[in-house]
Structure 1
Amino acid sequence: MKYFITTSVDDRTVTWRQDIADPFVHHTIIIGWPVLLRGLFRRRLKVVVDLGGDAETIFQVMNLGQPETGDPTAHDGTTS
């Protein structure tokens, strides 16, 4: 697949690189009672949803609005 999604709740991975067909996605996370209660006692519940893609996809997104070079591994020598 071209895109993937990784989800974690309180630094515990729920899904790892789950393939998705479209980056414009509605992702639902169902939090069970044990996790919800643990979050209430800590007064926080951190949910992280990370959307990623293969190397070609990342290259295309990072170069939006720039002229096409044709080589996804080519760069101008600058460091980021």
Structure 2
Amino acid sequence: MAWIAVFRPTPEEVQQVADSSPSSLLALEDTLSGHQRSKLERYGENLFVVLRPELHWAIGYPMALALMAATSVTLYVVFRKKRWL
């Protein structure tokens, strides 16, 4: 899993990510588009997530990070209890 946070990426930055990532080029093109809703797409075995809460809510970006952290911790605890880890 990789988390790549970009803020107003330049085409050169997107190209750097494209060179180092197995993601679809269509998914990377989405990072240049500023007018789209949050979404989750599947590309083969990879998931591509677009989160843009900071555009409409002052604390949207920190809340998105907090939600991801809480989800990760919850999954870790559940997996440890079931002895999957």
Give the TM-score, by structure 1 length. 0.22
Q: Which has the higher strand share?
A: 1
The higher relative CO (CA closer than 8 Å, separation ≥ 6) is in 1
More helix per residue: 2
